[in-house]
Amino acid sequence: MTTRTKIRKKLLAAHRKLRELRMLAKGLVSTRHPVLVHIIPIRRCNLACTYCNEFDDFSKPVPLEEMFQRIDRLGEMGTSVITISGGEPLLHPELDAIIARIRKNGIMAGLITNGYLLVADRIQALNRAGLEYLQISIDNVNPDDVSMKSLKVLDQKLKLLAEHAEFQININSVLGGGVANSEDALTVAHRAVALGFTSTVGILHDHNGQLQPLGPREQEIFEEIMSLGKQSFTRINQFQHNIAKGLENNWRCRAGSRYLYICEDGLVHYCSQQRGYPGVPLAQYTDEQRHREFLTKKGCAPRCTVSCVHQTSAMDFWRAPQTFAPGATPPMTAAENLVQLTGPSNRPS
């Protein structure tokens, strides 16, 4: 990497930090805008991880004009951050234009990808589009029947990112049910830090969707990766620690208000695991509806592991008790079979 590139990276990082501080201040002053939105430009994925319920192998990309309308509407709402998710968003042929439109609206732009399609030119195009954050989840060191998102396969991509990317990169590893070798998470996390990336860890739950405590060695690994991740906000850490121990959390989920999940059909959902609620088209989702959801208690909150919504909601933990009954809120069901990640997003890719 040239000195010029290094300086440019530092300047961009400083600018990003400034924008993050502005986002925090705006979120503390007003509860009337979404802080984080996940948006899906394509449901199709080029992989098929066996635990995943967020992809298919046939969907077409959402037309660019529709994506622009959705992003502009989120801009009007005052949204602070949009993270593009999927499926595999790099399969969308006009992803760069989508990112640029997010930035044009003054919104911070993030991307969650499985990384398979990244090459040097693609990374440089993401730089030019104005991408600010990228997350890849790596599930194991060697590919297995559950997941091909392996350090062995993706290490070349990580090196390319370290060389070319001007945006911030987070590598997420996973622990818990279904992970064959928990030591892999530690290997992945150390590799991420060695390459200058941030590192987070997510917990994979069993097929009954229940919070299961991690075993003693897994808990040690979890603690070590959390310390590598430099996450210092105590309340957020406590949420993660409780999940690791299989304990319930007492918190106010602000999904449907401060956090929105916009599916490929342009409908607003609470989160990736509670799709269908409220299930309203974004274009018709009013300020009043968002305010109502801000004050609506979610029945699924105590056993929820969707850490990105928790992090977003932490901004308002001290205010506005939720007084509306969880009428439309579903009880935790099979959808509770959550694969949840720490860090900027909860999606597994």
Query: In whole angstroms, how close is the CB of 253 to ligand SF4 at the nearest point?
Result: 3
Full 3-state SS string of 329-342: CCCCCHHHCCEECC
Member of 35, 42, 54, 176 binding ligand SF4 (CB under 6 A):
54
3-class DSSP assignment, residue 77:
helix
Query: In whole angstroms, how close is the CB of 42 to ligand SF4 at the nearest point?
Result: 10
Member of 83, 114, 242, 345 binding ligand SF4 (CB under 6 A):
114
Q: What CA–CA distance (Å, rounded) separates 325 from 293?
A: 10
Checking DSSP bridges between strand 267-269 and strand 259-262, what pairing results, if any? antiparallel
Nearer to ligand SF4, 168 or 329 (CB): 329
Nearer to ligand SF4, 225 or 341 (CB): 341
Q: What CA–CA distance (Å, rounded) separates 204 from 27?
A: 30
Query: In whole angstroms, how close is the CB of 161 to ligand SF4 at the nearest point?
Result: 17
Told to check if 49 binds ligand SF4 by CB under 6 A, we report yes
Type of residue found at 34: P
Member of 273, 307, 312, 342 binding ligand SF4 (CB under 6 A):
273
3-class DSSP assignment, residue 258:
coil
Told to check if 293 binds ligand SF4 by CB under 6 A, we report no
Member of 67, 79, 82, 88 binding ligand SF4 (CB under 6 A):
88
Told to check if 274 binds ligand SF4 by CB under 6 A, we report yes
Query: In whole angstroms, how close is the CB of 291 to ligand SF4 at the nearest point?
Result: 17
3-class DSSP assignment, residue 256:
coil
β-bridge partners, 39: 84, 262
Which distant-in-sequence residues (6+ apart) come within 8 Å of 309 by Cβ? 253, 254, 255, 259, 271, 346
Mask: binding to ligand SF4, 294-323, rule CB under 6 A, as x and -? ----x-xx--x-x--x--------------
Query: In whole angstroms, how close is the CB of 222 to ligand SF4 at the nearest point?
Result: 20
Residue 59: HSE in the Cβ half-sphere, 13 Å Cα cutoff: 22
The pair phi, psi for residue 169, each rounded to 5°, is -120, 130
Query: In whole angstroms, how close is the CB of 173 to ligand SF4 at the nearest point?
Result: 13
Told to check if 344 binds ligand SF4 by CB under 6 A, we report no
10 Å Cβ neighbour count for 196? 11
Number of residues that bind ligand SF4 (CB under 6 A): 25
3-class DSSP assignment, residue 176:
strand
Told to check if 179 binds ligand SF4 by CB under 6 A, we report no
Q: What CA–CA distance (Å, rounded) separates 11 from 263?
A: 34
Residue with tokens 């009013």: 286
Query: In whole angstroms, how close is the CB of 122 to ligand SF4 at the nearest point?
Result: 17
Nearer to ligand SF4, 3 or 323 (CB): 323
Query: In whole angstroms, how close is the CB of 331 to ligand SF4 at the nearest point?
Result: 10
Which sign, positive or negative, has the C-alpha torsion 136, 139, 141, 145?
A: negative
Told to check if 45 binds ligand SF4 by CB under 6 A, we report yes
Largest Cα span, the chain? 57
Range 230-259, binding ligand SF4 (CB under 6 A)? 253, 255
- For ligand SF4, the binding residues (CB under 6 A) are 45, 47-49, 52, 54-55, 86-88, 114, 253, 255, 270-271, 273-274, 298, 300-301, 304, 306, 309, 348-349
